[in-house]
Amino acid sequence: MGLLDGRRGLIFGIANERSIAWHIARGAAEQGAACAFAHLPGEKMERRVRKALEDGGFSDPWMRSCDLASDEDLDRLFDAAAADFEAIDFVVHSVAYADREYLRPGAFVDTPRGVFAQALDISSYSLVAVAMRARHLMRNGGSILALSYYGAEKAMPGYNVMGVAKSALESCVRYLALDLGPARIRVNALSAGPCRTLSAMAVGGFERILALMEETAPLRRNIETNEVGKSAVYLLSDLSSGVTGETHHVDAGYHSIAS
């Protein structure tokens, strides 16, 4: 018997088989969940995501494109989910974006207004926009999970405006937890250590971050992406029934030390 037997979830953010969202989907499916997927628009992205899912054992997955910066796209996505599913039990938000030109050491002070606003919109506000719509399908309560990073708490060279956006995301988690708690919807964040994903590789100095983690984290290693997936299963399942408004770290203990 799986921890998520009979549950259905909607997962945002798979780009390929290295994506954290892909590992979360695999972990959820192994525990009995039925997963549906929202991906970035475009035929190339659709083919890439479909291949990653099929290679991961998802046969004929439910997939829809969605631009999280578009309310119209979000409305279409949730209308389609409402038409096809009686209800959903969990949502995974593993989406972030900032202009790569400003994700390098020393560039934060030069962040233009438009770049800042875009990063906050896609990386932070989109969680609110998703929760606003998902709550109507979460008739039996459930769990909403967002993906964050330690750069939300401490300044990390090169993370820059994305760190600010992740700080806002973690604050959104707490306020959504407060609003949605009466509906028995829990909202949490997973703060994952650095993983070799497409988005992470866009951050300047990423190899230095990996080396620092391996040298100083209490476990003296970097994490494996599937470890994030396993912690996600805990936060999506009834094992965490009393947990909401929390940021749970999966970073080999790095957040707990002075560095």
Q: Which residues of 191-215 are buried (b: 16+ CB within 10 A; e: fewer)?
A: bbbbbebebbebbbbbeebbebbee
Structure-token pair, residue 68:
């999280």
**CA-CA distance, 169 to 171, in Å (whole number)?**
5
Look up residue 124 and give its amino acid.
Answer: S
- Is 97 noted as a catalytic residue in this protein? no
Q: Which of 97, 102, 150, 159 is catalytic?
A: 159
Question: CA torsion sign, 213 to 210 to 230 to 33?
Answer: positive
Active site residue 149: yes
> Which candidate, 59, 165, 151, places its Cα nearest to that of 118?
165
CA–CA separation, 246 vs 176, rounded Å? Answer: 11
Residue tagged active-site, from 102, 149, 150, 254: 149
Query: What sign results for the dihedral spanned by CA atoms 236, 242, 246, 247?
Result: negative
176 class by beta-carbon count within 10 Å (0-12 exposed, 13-18 middle, 19+ buried): buried
Catalytic residues: 149, 159
